[in-house]
Amino acid sequence: MTDFRNETLKNFLNAAGIVCENIDMIDGMMIPREVLLSDERYKDVKKYIPSLKEVYSSSYMTSLQKTATSTQKWPLINIIRQILKTLDYSLTPVRISDGYTKAKKKKYKRLFKIEKMKSINGEENCD
């Protein structure tokens, strides 16, 4: 990976709420869903989209297109998921029990887990 691409991705992920000093540090990281649903966080991340377009094609990644905010329900989740996929990581939704309400209805914490994708034969992809 080139230095420009690596630096661009690191800055983008840090602005999106995925704090890391190196791309390899994100494996196994858990991110609260509320962080990725924040409209203000997406506005902060938008300034990195032009530099991401230099690294990735917007026809390949729909979240980099101009119409992403109007056509996608959660554009920040989509852009992170698409970028992580190019790095052989997946963004998996996770629900963790958070007790019960007073009406005895179960509550959940909703998170996303970043995991390294496995290849077909069960080994990690190594490019």
The model's pTM: 0.81
Contacts 24+ apart (CB under 8 A), 5-12: 5/55, 8/48, 8/51, 8/52, 8/54, 8/55, 9/55, 9/83, 9/87, 11/48, 12/45, 12/48, 12/51, 12/52, 12/83
Give the residue-averaged pLDDT of 103-121: 89
Task: Give 13-46 pLDDT, tens digit per residue.
Answer: 999 988 888 888 899 999 999 999 988 999 999 9
pLDDT of residue 107: 93
pLDDT for residue 72 is more than 70: yes
Task: Give 92-103 pLDDT, tens digit per residue.
Answer: 999 999 999 999
**Average pLDDT of every residue of the chain:** 87
Domain locations in the chain as residue ranges: 3-116
